[in-house]
Structure formats: structure tokens, C-alpha cells
């Protein structure tokens, strides 16, 4: 008689479940027996003595007296000894140096740092035509320097031109030495020309970049017959764009003694403040236009009025700024 397939599958599942259960029971029994055997085999630990603790677990056991000593003869440090023909890593290859051997460079010094080079520059900060109410003149402010980062020769020249000749001028030759970041101390000579006799001065001052990017020039002068003078100038460059630059500028001159022959009085002599707008085709070539207010004060104003000049005037300027 044939067996129903469904019953066959049911009997097989029952048989598999029974076999799994028997295997689990045998494994549990074996685990308990091993645990009991280990418990019985472990000796009971003796209680510690009352006089102190047993530190044997924290101290290494001393080796037996008859134990053989460890042989370190075959052990070497990492890398081993240097080979006999090894070269000094701090010497040049093959013992050659910069002054001996087949690769000698000779007495000429080929390697120079940046502060070992001499640099030269010429700048015309102002080279302009000036229009006032009653006349047309010209003005210039030039600067040249040559030397290194710390020490250099600086030449400065500033003046006014009228009728094809220099009407007033100031020329300085200075030794400039860097004394701080962005600041130079300058020492040298100054010579002035004007309507009267020329004047020579000993000059001492500072030039540099003040906080907030103000370019500052301050100088003190000592002349003959007890004459003294002080000049202060500052300017600022405001970048409207990468090519349009607005430059405010102010300059003041003080004198310690009257000089009637050159129309100069004691105290604040002159003050000029202006603004110039330039367009930089390049950093080296930039035309500009601007306006400037200039005035004389104190005894200087009185002397100028006596010569028929105005105390104050407004100047319209157009010029060129260049350097190379």
C-alpha cells in the first residue's frame, strides 16, 4: 500500500527534530562534566598570613642557579655597522668641496640672497601742470634710490616751474637705513633755491608706512645761523577699482626763524591739501587729474602779500605718475 507523501514529510521532520534535541542534551552534559572535573583538579588556595600580604604574584621568579645564560652574540642593532667604505653624510660626494676638487666653483660668489643685491628705482610721483586763477605753472616731485634692503642712497627733488625756469626747489641726498618693518631712518643734506639766496640744511627724518597704510615722510632740518625747519607729508591710496586710484595728500612746512629774503616766516609757513584721481594703465604709467588747496600762514602770509601774492589759492592739476 503506497504512503501518502504528506505523511512522509511529516515523519521526516519529526525525526530531524528528535535528533537535534538529543545532540543538544549530550553537548550540555559534556560541558557540565568538564566544569566539574576542572573544579576538582584545582587546589585550594591557602589564606594569606596575618602578618602581611603575599607579593609573590607581583615579583618575577628568580631563575634557577643552574639555568644557562642567554647568548646575545648573534643579536645586532637595527641597521648594523656601517660598511668600511661609507662616506660622511655631511661631507660632499667623494670628499670634494666648493673650493677644492674637480667641481671647485672658484673665488667668485655665485649664490646671493635677496638682500645681497643692489636695487635701483626712479619714481615721478608728481609731474604735473598747475592752473590757478591768475597763472599756469608746473610742479614736480621726484625720487630715486639705489642700494639694498637695509641701506640705500635716496635722492628727492620737489619744486615749481614758472616761465620755463625753476621758481622754487628742494633737493635732498640721503642715506636711508631700515630701522623697523616698513620704516627707514634717513640722514643727509638738503639744498633749497627760491627768490632769494640758496639755503643748505643738514637733514634727519623718517619715511615709511604708518598704520592704516598712510605713507608718511617726516624730516627735521638744521641750517646755518640757527635756522631750523620741519616738514611733514602724508598720503593715502584708495583703490576704487584695480585701475582707478584716489590719492589724498597733505603737506605742511614749519620754520624756526624768519627768512625775509626768501619770503619765509617763523612758525607754520605753508599747508597744502589735495586729492588726485589717476588711472593706471600699468603700475608704472598712470595719468591723473586733481585739485589742491594751498595756503600760507603767519609771517609767511604777510611777506607773500607784500609781494602781491595771494594767501590762499586753489590749484587744478593734471599730470603723470610713472616709475621704473
Contacts of 226 (CB under 8 A, 6+ apart): 256, 257
Query: φ, ψ for residue 241 (rounded to 5)?
Result: -140, -170
> CB–CB of 158/169 below 8 Å?
yes
Please, what is the average pLDDT of the chain?
80
Q: Computed over its alpha carbons, how large is the radius of gyration of the chain?
A: 48
Q: Pick the closest to residue 145 from 112, 101, 175, 102 (CA basis).
A: 175
> Is pLDDT of 308 > 60?
yes
> Is pLDDT of 261 > 50?
yes
Query: φ, ψ for residue 31 (rounded to 5)?
Result: -65, -40
pLDDT of residue 19: 52
CA distance 229 to 239: 34
Q: Rounded mean pLDDT of 78-92? A: 67
269: number of Cβ within 10 Å: 24
Question: Tell me: the pLDDT tens digits for 219-256?
Answer: 999 999 999 999 999 999 999 999 999 999 999 999 99
Q: Rounded mean pLDDT of 27-56? A: 45
pLDDT of residue 207: 96
CA distance 187 to 55: 83
> Is pLDDT of 165 > 50?
yes
Contacts of 54 (CB under 8 A, 6+ apart): 48
What is the 8-class DSSP label of residue 13?
H
Domain boundaries, the chain: 118-323
Q: How many CA atoms lie within 13 A of 285 on its CB side?
A: 2
CA distance 143 to 171: 10
67-81, 93-107, 170-184, 291-305: which range is least confident on average? 67-81
* Secondary structure of 298-321 as H, E, C letters: HHHHHHHHHCCCCCEEEEEEEEEE
Query: φ, ψ for residue 114 (rounded to 5)?
Result: -60, -35
CA distance 205 to 218: 5
pLDDT of residue 223: 96
Q: Quick one: cell of 198?
A: 640758496
pLDDT of residue 230: 97
- Percent of the chain surpassing pLDDT 70: 67
- Residue 259 DSSP SS3: strand
H or E segment to which residue 106 belongs: none
What is 118-323's CATH number?
A: 2.40.160.40
> Is pLDDT of 62 > 70?
no
169: number of Cβ within 10 Å: 16
Q: Is 203 exposed, middle or buried (0-12, 13-18, 19+ CB in 10 A)?
A: buried
Q: Name the pTM for this structure.
A: 0.65
Q: Quick one: cell of 214?
A: 598712510
Amino acid at each position: 500500500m503506497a504512503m501518502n507523501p504528506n505523511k512522509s514529510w511529516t515523519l521526516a521532520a519529526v525525526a530531524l527534530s528528535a535528533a537535534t534535541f538529543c545532540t543538544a542534551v549530550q553537548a550540555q552534559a559534556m560541558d557540565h562534566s568538564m566544569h566539574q572535573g576542572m573544579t576538582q583538579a584545582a587546589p585550594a588556595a591557602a589564606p594569606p598570613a596575618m602578618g602581611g600580604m603575599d607579593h609573590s604574584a607581583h615579583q618575577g621568579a628568580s631563575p634557577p642557579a643552574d639555568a644557562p645564560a642567554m647568548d646575545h652574540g648573534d643579536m645586532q642593532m637595527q641597521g648594523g655597522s656601517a660598511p668600511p667604505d661609507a662616506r660622511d653624510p655631511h661631507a660632499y660626494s667623494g670628499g670634494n668641496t666648493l673650493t677644492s676638487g674637480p667641481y671647485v666653483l672658484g673665488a667668485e660668489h655665485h649664490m646671493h640672497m635677496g638682500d645681497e643685491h643692489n636695487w635701483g628705482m626712479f619714481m615721478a610721483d608728481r609731474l604735473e601742470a598747475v592752473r590757478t586763477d591768475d597763472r599756469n605753472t608746473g610742479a614736480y616731485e621726484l625720487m630715486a634710490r639705489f642700494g639694498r634692503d637695509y641701506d640705500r642712497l635716496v635722492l628727492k627733488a620737489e619744486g615749481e616751474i614758472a616761465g620755463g625756469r625753476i621758481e622754487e626747489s628742494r633737493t635732498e641726498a640721503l642715506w636711508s637705513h631700515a630701522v623697523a618693518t616698513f620704516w627707514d631712518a634717513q640722514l643727509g643734506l638738503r639744498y633749497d633755491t627760491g627768490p632769494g639766496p640758496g639755503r643748505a640744511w643738514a637733514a634727519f627724518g623718517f619715511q615709511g608706512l604708518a598704520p592704516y597704510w598712510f605713507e608718511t615722510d617726516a624730516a627735521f632740518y638744521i641750517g646755518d645761523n640757527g635756522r631750523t625747519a620741519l616738514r611733514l607729508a602724508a598720503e593715502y591710496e584708495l583703490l576704487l577699482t584695480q585701475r582707478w586710484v584716489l590719492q589724498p595728500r597733505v603737506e605742511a612746512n614749519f620754520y624756526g626763524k624768519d627768512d625775509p629774503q626768501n619770503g619765509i616766516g617763523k612758525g607754520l609757513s605753508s599747508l597744502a591739501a589735495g586729492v588726485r584721481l589717476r588711472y593706471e594703465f600699468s603700475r608704472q604709467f598712470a595719468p591723473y587729474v586733481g585739485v589742491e588747496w594751498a595756503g600760507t600762514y603767519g609771517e609767511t602770509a604777510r611777506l607773500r602779500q607784500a609781494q602781491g601774492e595771494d594767501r590762499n589759492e586753489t590749484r587744478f592739476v593734471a599730470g603723470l605718475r610713472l616709475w621704473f
